[in-house]
Structure 1
Amino acid sequence: MMAIGGAGLAATLPGEAAEAKAGAGAATVPAKVLHHVFFWLKDAGSTADRDRLIAGLRTLAAIPVIRALHIGVPADTEARDVVDGSYQVSELMFFDTVADQKAYQDHPIHRQFVADCEKLWRKVVVYDTLGV
């Protein structure tokens, strides 16, 4: 099983081991809803604001419909035209269904996170995907 972790969080994708084929390289993830969010801070150089946002994101782990959560910052990988490392923080969540992702959006913990942290960011980009 692949562990997904970041900023002190770790989760395991359910059923992933069954999807992996022996000798096939990387494991595949069962078809799920992925919610990937990128945050650009108003004060991009502020480690205090980055840390406050990360702390806020960690509170989301208590929402029961989230199957896995990864919080990250841009990796120091090779600079290429297709790589956008201009954001300061990202989070990637796995849900079983689109309905679960909607329940997350409406959950009081998520609403509190937005109320507490929205003053920190100047831009947010969300990518929601359904595995095939």
Structure 2
Amino acid sequence: MKRGIITILLMISFMATSFAQVEDTMRTFDPAFSHTVFFWLKNPESSKDKAQFETSLKTFLQNSKYAKTNFIGTPPTATRDVVDGSFTYSLIVTFESAEAQEGYQKEKAHLIFIEECKDLWEKVIVYDSQGI
């Protein structure tokens, strides 16, 4: 009986810790300011270039002091004419303010990412939006 109770208590403790960790890592989308970036790599079929880009981008986002939430994506197979799937990667980052986004542009982690990856892309388009 004691073993059963101890097992249940350990399971509850483990689950509570796991949920707390998930909650810490899943930050809520901030509608104050979004920064959407589309990248077209020079060699989009190159596994090496893609791995370098993804590693550098993820490292940068993990070290950003300003980015609240982020999403890295690739284009799905387009099923409608209005969908532009010509890019290699998309990035959506949210910020608590336009000022925070300005800080992000100048922070060391962002500048390192640009330096490491600028030779990999042929085109970058950015769309910034403030919430209404």
Q: Which runs of 5+ in 1 are unaligned?
A: 1-9, 14-28
Q: Which runs of 5+ in 2 are unaligned?
A: 1-24
Q: Which residue of 2 aligns with 1:102?
A: 102
User: Following TM superposition, where does structure 1 have runs of at least 4 consecutive aligned residues deviating by more than 4 angstroms?
Assistant: none
Q: Which residue of 1 aligns with 2:13?
A: none
Q: What amino acid is aligned across from residue 66 of structure 1 in structure 2? A: A
Q: Which residue of 1 aligns with 2:68?
A: 67
Q: What SS is found at the alignment partner of 2:31? A: coil
Work out the CA distance in 1 between the residues paired with 2:131 and 2:88.
Answer: 26
- Aligned-CA RMSD value: 1.5
Q: Which whole-Å deviations, capped at 9, do the CAs of 1:87-115 have from their partners, x for residues lacking one?
A: 11111100000000000000011001100
Work out the CA distance in 1 between the residues paired with 2:91 and 2:68.
Answer: 13
Structure ranking higher in strand proportion: 1
Work out the CA distance in 1 between the residues paired with 2:88 and 2:26.
Answer: 22
Q: Which protein has the larger Cα radius of gyration, Structure 1 or Structure 2?
A: 2
- Normalised to the residue count of structure 2, the TM-score between the two structures is 0.75
**1:34–1:93: 8 Å Cα contact kept in structure 2?**
yes
Q: Within the alignment, does 1:11 sit opposite 2:26 as a pair?
A: yes
Work out the CA distance in 2 between the residues paired with 1:90 and 1:65.
Answer: 19
**2:56–2:117: 8 Å Cα contact kept in structure 1?**
yes
Work out the CA distance in 1 between the residues paired with 2:118 and 2:30.
Answer: 32
- Normalised to the residue count of structure 1, the TM-score between the two structures is 0.75
**1:41–1:120: 8 Å Cα contact kept in structure 2?**
yes
Change beyond 3 A, Cα 1:105–1:30: closer
Percentage identity across aligned positions? 35
**2:30–2:68: 8 Å Cα contact kept in structure 1?**
no
Structure ranking higher in helix proportion: 2
Give the total of aligned pairs.
Answer: 107
